[in-house]
Structure 1
């Protein structure tokens, strides 16, 4: 039985975790308005309340930090804000968790790597982030691990869900608006459904609570196998019942962005699997299940829109 505090609870991952709440899973998922991680008093109360709540219910306490500054391009000109949210906030959270003896799972990103490796990145590969966002996330990882010995870093990539702004939502909108579009075909990664990541994190949390925590404190968790943004877009079109040939490939040079993107964002699941955690299913199977679970929102709505 777990009592979990999820800072960033109104984001994609936070909402996915909250949806899994049940008799054996007590979830508190506050948004930034309810829990400002830069407010020491508010943060302290939240962690102390979690510990007390867990004691009263006979549960194990756990914090899963899903809060972050994730505006990759904006971070290039807003480094102070990115540093505050990606370094100072998790560092303070880790310190408070340590003082309350509460384990912490901190979510990080593929952007800590340079993206030029030939093959999937292992958790202990050298980090050479190329963007402000990536650099702040890398420093935040170190801060968390240094402050609390009961902390774990879980890196993920290409997250999507039924909530918020993400690539799947963008493709659904563009499929309605444009007869054809071009998508970058030279960046590789593993699209990850937030619901699958949430389930994996809860499994890790239960392992930590029952003294089966992985010895390795940095792990990777994405849906299995890889594709390009172009391949991902074509798969989304197919799930919508649209012609994937409408999606044409282009290079990163054709679509410049303020922050550089990794050419290779593929994260190795080797350590995750070796820890006895359930291997993640392939990304294309997860995508199919995402649309099945949200059929009323996406398939029916979008087909009706095109037909009228």
Structure 2
């Protein structure tokens, strides 16, 4: 029996108690995950969703992250949403601890945990046996000062000497990630948090990687950016400024939020911000595709599908 035939012949009881739905921004992960959870619930097997989108961890960051509202969650319990203030710095180590605890609580009660998101390192933190080091505040401050005074090149050169593989992967345009990579590489007793070529699973899981043709995805991402600004992203960001958004190291740099801040500060028009958001999202989607290609996952092509098509695809995953 082929893999496809086996999947078609499977029943909910044959599935592992952890299912992951991954893929680039704009592929329909939330809809597929919700449909899987609903279908399992209707079959008598409770299911809950665990978010693996780093920016959806933040309270109030809703429009720009495409976070589902309570009504849109269709009665399915969601975890790891709205757990951080915008002044907090997201930590993949803390996320790994908390998300795995959610998975264990769900499965201990006989349910299925549906992990869904596009933040590659956060997804991997749950699925694979990865170690994440703590922080060294003094070293971090020193590296940040160096970056502020001399720019990224000196830090990148140091990272190449310490860990060439990490230097090849790091986004040099993201100061926070560059500083963090050098901090980790400077500490020989810790493990660099990146996906190894053959990662060891944390526990049995079925991983579904959603794929959408590039040309279709590019068009949808520009439309998505325009829709966010039309739906009030600038107003959302303006309100979050009162909560300290501009003091938050992670939240203020989120795609869409940094561009909306440019509008509020008069550095860009709304049209320019939409274009900049679309460009940044396309680049991010490329990195997501590259990351998830390394997974030993079941690829589900959702090109050309609407919501009804996504739901039909999800029901094929959980017959």
TM-score between the two structures when normalised by the length of structure 2: 0.30
Bigger strand share: 1
Bigger helix share: 2
The higher relative CO (CA closer than 8 Å, separation ≥ 6) is in 2
TM-score between the two structures when normalised by the length of structure 1: 0.31
